[in-house]
């Protein structure tokens, strides 16, 4: 049974967040029916349209509630961490650690994935074990390595707050519940759209001055000799599939195999977007490669030849200058507007 004192926010925390809450309440009170006001996502012109579930269309109030919950430490059993603890905006919504740290200092299973352009994903987590953002939201709350709580107890805790009750009713026409929590978090995460990098200016908008000479040479390697674009292509620089990139000969973490139970999926992980890749070190599912230089060296060497290794992973024989140019090109995938957008800040 949850200790009673953990069911309360505490006077200090309420005072700390009071100014934020009052601003949000003022905003809501100024709307005649905020729950029906569509949230307009700032989507780049070269990005496709996306859809939200019928029961979770984006509205101003739903996104506002989801954003507040994203930064709410009360979602963890001891009120010590929030979603944002492992997903920092200036790091592309990663945390800079090989593996994330949960409550009581517990080390997580994998490297925290970037939260970017999630509205376009069909699978979530590195093994693709979840197929909707709404379902995804429950896992970190329930995981003993992350928030170690029960989502229904989270709802009970938040129900003690008049502020959260009001936002829940405003957003979903029901009191605070697990239904509200997962949908609001998903709504906010669908707004995390990134597509305004120097690469976009060059590749999609024809700005020949967006990249310097080294970066242009790196782009040619990325789409040519480097084989990078075989898995990282399209508007989101991913094929949205699962690949074994030969990181290990023997994988402790079996990857997609844990979900499919098929031997051919051992060591396969979801191909991540490369957007803001400069900011999301360390790399790979286990955070084992500390830098972009280390990542490129891994691919240049051709991997460890695992039985399921992708056919695109082979020795590249890149020169030192070519490797440097490729790193410089990857820096052009950084979207400073996204990393500093006040809409996503606490």
278's tokens: 């400069």
> Rounded distance, CA 132 to CA 119, Å?
9
Specify whether the CB–CB gap between 243 and 284 falls below 8 A. no
* Two tokens, residue 172: 């979903």
The pLDDT of residue 36: 78
Six-digit token pair at 7? 């069911």
pLDDT in tens, 201-240: 999 999 999 999 999 999 999 999 999 999 999 999 999 9
Residue ranges for the chain with pLDDT beneath 70: 1-35
Return the pLDDT at 19.
Answer: 46
Give me the residue spans of the domains in the chain: 4-193, 198-339
Task: Give the per-residue pLDDT at 33.
Answer: 52
CA atoms within 13 A on the CB side of 293: 4
Here the tokens at position 2 are: 């949850």
pLDDT at 97: 98
Distance CA 2, CA 192 (A): 34
* Selection from 36, 19, 44 nearest residue 200 by Cα: 44
Superfamily of domain 4-193: Cytochrome c-like domain (1.10.760.10)
pLDDT at 34: 56
From the number of C-beta atoms within 10 Å of its C-beta (0-12, 13-18, 19+), residue 152 rates as: exposed
Report the Cα 200 to chain-centroid distance in Å.
Answer: 20
Q: What is the pLDDT of residue 30?
A: 44
pTM, two decimals, is 0.89
**pLDDT, position 9:** 52
CATH number of 198-339: 1.10.760.10
pLDDT value at residue 35: 62
Q: What is the pLDDT of residue 154?
A: 98
Residue-level pLDDT at 31: 43
């Amino acid at each position: 049974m949850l200790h009673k004192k953990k069911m309360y926010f505490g006077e200090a925390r309420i005072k700390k967040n009071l100014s934020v809450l009052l601003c949000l309440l003022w905003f809501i009170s100024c709307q005649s029916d905020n729950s029906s006001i569509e949230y307009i996502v700032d989507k780049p012109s070269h990005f496709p349209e996306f859809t939200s579930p019928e029961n979770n269309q984006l509205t101003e109030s739903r996104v506002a509630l989801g954003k507040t919950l994203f930064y709410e430490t009360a979602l963890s059993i001891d009120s010590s961490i929030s979603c944002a603890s492992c997903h920092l905006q200036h790091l592309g919504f990663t945390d800079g650690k090989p593996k994330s740290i949960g409550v009581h200092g517990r080390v997580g299973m994998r490297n925290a994935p970037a939260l970017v352009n999630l509205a376009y994903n069909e699978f979530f987590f590195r093994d693709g074990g979840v197929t909707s953002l709404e379902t995804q939201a429950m896992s970190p709350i329930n995981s003993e390595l992350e928030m170690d709580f029960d989502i229904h107890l989270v709802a009970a805790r938040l129900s003690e707050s008049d502020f959260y009750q009001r936002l829940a009713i405003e957003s979903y026409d029901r009191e605070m519940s697990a239904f509200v929590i997962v949908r609001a978090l998903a709504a906010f995460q669908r707004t995390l759209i990134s597509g305004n990098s120097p690469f976009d200016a060059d590749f999609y908008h024809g700005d020949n001055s967006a990249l310097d000479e080294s970066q242009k040479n790196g782009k040619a390697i990325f789409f040519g000799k480097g084989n990078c674009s075989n898995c990282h292509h399209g508007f989101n620089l991913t094929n949205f599939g699962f690949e074994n990139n030969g990181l290990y000969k023997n994988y402790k973490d079996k990857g997609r195999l844990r979900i499919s139970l098929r031997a051919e999926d051992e060591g396969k992980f979801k191909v991540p977007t490369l957007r803001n890749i400069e900011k999301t070190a360390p790399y790979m599912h286990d955070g084992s490669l500390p830098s972009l230089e280390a990542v490129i060296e891994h691919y240049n060497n051709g991997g460890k030849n695992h039985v399921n290794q992708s056919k695109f992973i082979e020795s590249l024989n890149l020169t030192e200058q070519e490797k440097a140019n490729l790193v410089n090109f990857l820096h052009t995938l950084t979207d400073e507007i996204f990393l500093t957008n006040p809409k996503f800040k606490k």
